[in-house]
Structure 1
């Protein structure tokens, strides 16, 4: 298969996930929300017609929601996010995948169709970006490595999207944006999500 999806996850451990959210709602509720996000990410990815790789921040978990029969499992490598992402992409490019997307597990609005749309767009564009409302992105799709997309980026700030687009231009990469979605990073994001769900 020529397409692959990378999913970056953290083990659901109390006090270790959604720390910005936990500052106002507490560690227990933050962990509960993170587990919901993991379940959502699992549900929208399990039937995608591509190879799927779960990259853990530390030790691989063999008996968790990510079935070993569906998901390949790897460990993230590197001290900062850009290095961990670029290393994951490089590893799959070496496995001869032609179209690769990476996502996290922070977005309830992300759907199977949007991820598939990203893969479709990689047939025509060098880079596909899923912008998030906080100035970052929820998805990045590549056909080849472009190192500038992972260097000198102010990770976890509102500048990530802008700097990534600038890196595409500097690298002479054609790029396209997916619909803008909202991540769950803090209590405001969580309340906004609950309000939207209640209105459905």
Structure 2
């Protein structure tokens, strides 16, 4: 059996699927129970893509799990993957920068981060991201709402996580502008669709 490639690592920012604690924007349009069902579907889709890509990965939870897990026990939604808690920082950028720093500290040299909102994400996108990181400093997977569904780095780039208005249509453009100012070689993956609102969900269901 081939040993896992410790030079690469995938970070997954996720939440435990608990009623009232996930997809609040979506819940405002379709109700909390329906939003939880959609989130479970998105989690399963993302987990399948990660499994198929066969990448070393860590799940970073936004909140402590409600279930009583034994030490080192995997989360039910992410079988076989280790998990950690995101730091108690208000800004998403600070939490992402922390996760990258932790992964770089283990010796990884190609690291990417994803969320769990993108039903179009496939194993091929993940594989392509790490391939592009062999000769690019930054890889971004643009979301069509102006954000990104994936960010890949070859070394820490704290500037990319600073001075961003997170969850707004300017995040991708601002990140690309920072990368250009820093002289970083940047590659883009295909643009995909995130599901954050009732309108996003309707668009996804319509195909």
Q: TM-score, normalised by structure 2?
A: 0.91
| Match in the other structure for 1:71 | 81
The answer as to 2:198 corresponding to 1:193 is no
Whether 2:153 is the aligned partner of 1:142: answer yes
Shift of 1:88: 0.1
In the alignment, what sits opposite 2:16?
11
Q: Quick check: 1:6–1:103 contact (8 Å CA) kept in 2?
A: yes
Give 1:28 shift: 0.6
Aligned length: 194
Structure 2: gaps spanning 5 or more residues = 1-5
Supply the distance in 2 between the matched residues of 1:179 and 1:45 (Cα, whole angstroms): 17
Secondary structure at 1:153 match in 2: coil
Aligned to 1:125: 136
Cα RMSD after superposing both structures: 1.1
Alignment pair present for 1:106 and 2:117: yes
Q: Per-residue displacement from partner, 1:84-116 (whole Å, max 9, x unpaired)? A: 000000000000001001000001000000110
Q: Give the whole-Å Cα distance in 2 for the aligned partners of 1:128 and 1:176.
A: 5
SS of residue in 1 equivalent to 2:57: strand
Give me the whole-angstrom Cα distance separating, in 2, the residues matched to 1:66 and 1:12. Answer: 12
Structure 1: how far apart are the matches of 2:54 and 2:31?
38
Aligned to 2:40: 35
Partner Cα distance (1:3, 1:50) in 2: 8
Following superposition, the deviation at residue 171 of structure 1 comes to 1.6
- Map 1:159-198 to 2 at 5 A: 159-196=170-207
Q: What is the Cα deviation at residue 11 of structure 1?
A: 1.3
TM-score by length of 1: 0.94
